[in-house]
Structure 1
Amino acid sequence: MPTKETITSADLAELRRSALTTADPLGVAADLADAVDHDRLASPEDAGDALSLAAEIAEFRNRLDAALQYADRAVAAFPSPSDPGAGFATALRARILFRIGGRDDEALEAVTALRPLLTEQPDAPAYVSAALDAGGRSALAEEWLSEAVDNLLGARTTADVGPAEAPGVAFFLLQQRHRVRRDLNLPHDRQDDLADRLEAQLTRGVESGEPDLLFFPKAEFDRLDTLTDTFGPDWDAHRATLEKELVRLAEAGGSGLHVLRASVAGLTGYANRNDGDPSAPNIRRRYAEELEAQPGAHVSWPPERNGPCWCGSGLKYKKDCLPRSRS
């Protein structure tokens, strides 16, 4: 199934959400690889992400040999192991190797190299533990995550870690450790209590009216229907809310800021899977956490003043969303 002649970063993000529901997902995977081979990517630096997505699709359809070929290429496509997305591609490759069988040592060596990322990248705890789980090593994942929590928090007590840390590495590390321990039926410990406390604090922050960073492109915003009560009466107001929040976070010392490209189908699908209301703060927050683990969903902020605006309008940032922070 062919995709567009030229595939943009936004197209990749949409395909990540929709490819598995198409009539021919494996055709989408093959076309993504073809786009890399024949310079059909609008941004050549998206090659690693495109091949990772192809590998995920093939793995989901249990075409493990094809998935491994795509994953090998994805790992090689990133210029540096520290490049965003390179760790995910490496973990994906390890996961596939575990599932193929007979290559467990190679898989474990690959995922072991990712251990330092557990305290450096918010999405690393999820993809590292997923790889180990595929190899039947959930207990090892719990050991690694626990050691990473100890290293990150050091001698601090639960009282020393506040909600300001919740959106960062500490929060996602604690939450993933909590999930792994729950799956292993391990007793609740001090760090599990901290994970629950941070989640409760973050939920209260959302419920108190602090805006989340879910961004709906124009075509998606037009499909929101009754959810405009949640995300803004119109697209201009939606973008203005996000721009002001990003400015606030930057002024508070935030770095590496981004919004999360969302879709109506993605949000409502997440709500349906979890028996929730898509307008509920806890559902929005957890959907945002799901997107946070997908590098293709990140829209970096801020762009250059004379560069294209982050919202995808095609206008220069200085002529579009930048002034919204002052309105």
Structure 2
Amino acid sequence: MNDRDTALAPGPDDAAMLSALRELNLPDRLLQVLLAQAPDHAGEALLDYVGDLTRAGRIDQARRVLEVLRAYPPAPDDRQYASIELVRLLHHSGEEQAVAEAERITAELLSPGGLGAGPAELLAEDLEARGELADALRCLNLASRDLLAEPPEDLEGLEARYLTALIRRSRVRAQLGMELDAHDEVAVASARRLLAETYGDVGEGETRTEGSEPDRDAEVLFSRQAFDDARTRGLLPHEVAEHGADAYYRAAERNLREQSSERPETRWSVVLHGVAEIEAFAEHTGMDAGDRATALSWSEGEIAAHDPRLVPWPPQRNEACWCGSTRKYKKCCGSPSNR
């Protein structure tokens, strides 16, 4: 081990991780990046590389890197994040044995002590997309544990960005048919306040003059968790299905930029939806579930102005990307390379 190795590998587990990664014949540039990273950033660099492999269609190699990260996590949460990403890849493969392995890993994550708050919120997103709402709620209860320990009145007035887990918890509880509790009411009020600020609603004591309502529009897209199902069901155009989810969202980002430049006064949002709600809407209305107009009609009829599913666009550069990749916006759809 050379002197630079100590930046990543002060202990035997990190040395073992480096050794295992070298056996995968990873690019020298990646190993150099890892050697220069502090332990708490090395896992993030590897997860970014896994994203690159996945976008390139090198799924087997991505899975091998994730297995190494699971076996030798340089920081405590890295094993959990790697496990969640591996579960996604296994589910997307559709292979019976792979799906069974994904379920085993998920059960491991859901076991007592298996999840930290950050990974729990991320896993909840996937579980909700798969319709596993009870387990999603378990994760969101864990992710918002510190917030739930606070009296609801102490949380009133907090910005929505500090309450994301609580807001998602309220949404899942609503889907399960549960009555709002006091923390749900705080979460919903915070989400509504964010949307009101984003869309320029009038403040207290003001009156809106006729014609002053800001123009609003939304890009309506399948969620990342629903993309493969939508592709399998033929709900995506051939050219979109062929190039994959990342190309789908990057193209949407470019369209949003173009539309925003042409209509600078319009306040834009993104709505990510699943397959079930679009198919149900199409069946009810007699429309084609694969027609973009159907999703737009669904959004116009089902998504109210203060719906938490409306994600303001664009996010701040250091915030999570709107597409659900878990990467920062500036490193994902908001990257300068996506022009």
TM-score, normalised to structure 1's length?
Answer: 0.46
Larger proportion of helix? 1
Q: Which has the larger radius of gyration?
A: 2
TM-score, normalised to structure 2's length?
Answer: 0.44
